Amino acid sequence: MRLAVWDPGEVFRRWRDALVQHARELGLSVDVFDAVAAPDAQADFALVWKPPADWLAGQAGLRAVFNLGAGVDAVLPLMQRLVPGVPLVRLEDAGMGRQMADYVAEAVLRAYRRMDDYAALQARSSWEPLPLPPRGGFQIGFLGLGQMGLAAARRLAAMDFPVQACTRSGTARPGVDAAWPLVSLRRIDAFLATSRVLVVLLPRTRETDGLLDYRQLRQLPAGAHLISAGRGAIIVESDLIELLDEGHLASATLDVFAREPLPPTDPLWRHPRVPVTPHVAAQTLVGPSAAQVMRGIAAFERGDLPSGLVDVARGY
Ligand code: GLV
């Protein structure tokens, strides 16, 4: 079968070698080609990261599309328009959960241990011990508890931070500790009011676009910190800057933005309390991702459905 890889950000040979190796292990025969280099070639299955519309529109025989990332907001609307009915599968963890847990843990510890305050004191050669907040009251609120949110929440809970979560449905799924307070988006107000650190890891959908505006973010306790590593469009960035400048929020660690790459003129680049990283909190790893995709293809070949299938109505 013919597998197209559309991923201009990765050396194609790395995908091909890993896919061929996993196909061999599963007893599948595959012909893997670089769709960026051969855009007219037709495929049975496609592995894509942000493919252009005209390429997708030209693929008439696709049996399924595998998204080379966890979030499908870029490709799902395109598929609905151009290849409706073709199943879309997203990566499930594939080595990204651990990276996300590292990213969130680093930002939480920096906030909890007041490292930014000490950096400011150091700049003034000022020796000034600051009080440590009681750990039991330093509630970490996870907005979104999918594969990424859950990996990070488990890490923070293992580090003895109190964890709570707010999700679309507010219902627990396997791996969610029954001791964590868990509410649905309808009860976000109380959740925000008690989160000393807000970790935003929701998928981008119609429901979450622009969800965190001034009114919502103002509900966080004074001095709260924000960490955003899912999708930038969930936060109204101008409102966030206003709350930082008013001193209501202490910091915002941002990995994702409404516009990426973040334009050089964007004030977030220069904000003293906004650490910026270029959408790297959880990067796609070729090895584990190729293994997962090949298992998914093997499932389709057997007539089964793989896990990680996107629910089109839900949007993720
Ligand atoms: C990265 O943003 C991803 O969706 O995996």
pLDDT band at 4 (very low <50, low <70, confident <90, very high): very high
Report the pLDDT value the prediction gives residue 276, as an integer from 0 to 100: 98
Q: Is 296 in the pocket of ligand 1 (CB under 6 A)?
A: no
- The span from the CA of 48 to the CA of 58, in Å, is 14
Take atom 5 of ligand 1 and give the residue whose Cα is closest: 69
- The span from the CA of 201 to the CA of 94, in Å, is 17
Task: State pLDDT tens for residues 164-200.
Answer: 999 999 999 999 999 999 999 999 999 999 999 999 9
Report the pLDDT value the prediction gives residue 107, as an integer from 0 to 100: 98
- Report in angstroms the alpha-carbon separations of 276 from 196, 205, 249, 280: 20, 23, 16, 10
Both structure tokens of 13: 């040979």
- 79-96 b/e (C-beta count within 10 Å ≥ 16 → b): beebbeebbbbbbbbbbb
- 138-156 b/e (C-beta count within 10 Å ≥ 16 → b): bbbbbbbbbbbbbbbbbbb
Q: Is 70 in the pocket of ligand 1 (CB under 6 A)?
A: yes
From the CA of 39, how far away is ligand 1's center (Å)?
24
Report the pLDDT value the prediction gives residue 137, as an integer from 0 to 100: 97
From the CA of 274, how far away is ligand 1's center (Å)?
21
pLDDT band at 280 (very low <50, low <70, confident <90, very high): very high
For ligand 1, what atom is nearest to the CA of residue 230?
A: 2
Share of the chain above pLDDT 90, in %: 100
Long-range contacts of 132-137 (CB under 8 A, 24+ apart): 133/196, 135/160, 135/161, 136/162, 137/162, 137/196
Domains of the chain: 2-94+284-302 (3.40.50.720), 96-270 (3.40.50.720)
What is the 8-class DSSP label of residue 169?
S
From the CA of 189, how far away is ligand 1's center (Å)?
27
- By CB atoms closer than 10 A (0-12, 13-18, 19+), residue 11 is exposed
From the CA of 124, how far away is ligand 1's center (Å)?
39
Both structure tokens of 268: 């977030």
From the CA of 96, how far away is ligand 1's center (Å)?
9
Report the pLDDT value the prediction gives residue 103, as an integer from 0 to 100: 99
Pocket probe mutation, ligand 1, options 7, 49, 96, max atoms within 8 Å of Cβ: 96
Q: What is the pTM of this model?
A: 0.97
Q: Is 97 in the pocket of ligand 1 (CB under 6 A)?
A: no
For ligand 1, what atom is nearest to the CA of residue 279?
A: 2
Report the pLDDT value the prediction gives residue 246, as an integer from 0 to 100: 98
For ligand 1, what atom is nearest to the CA of residue 284?
A: 5
Mean pLDDT computed over every residue of the chain: 97
Q: Is 87 in the pocket of ligand 1 (CB under 6 A)?
A: no
pLDDT band at 229 (very low <50, low <70, confident <90, very high): very high
pLDDT band at 83 (very low <50, low <70, confident <90, very high): very high
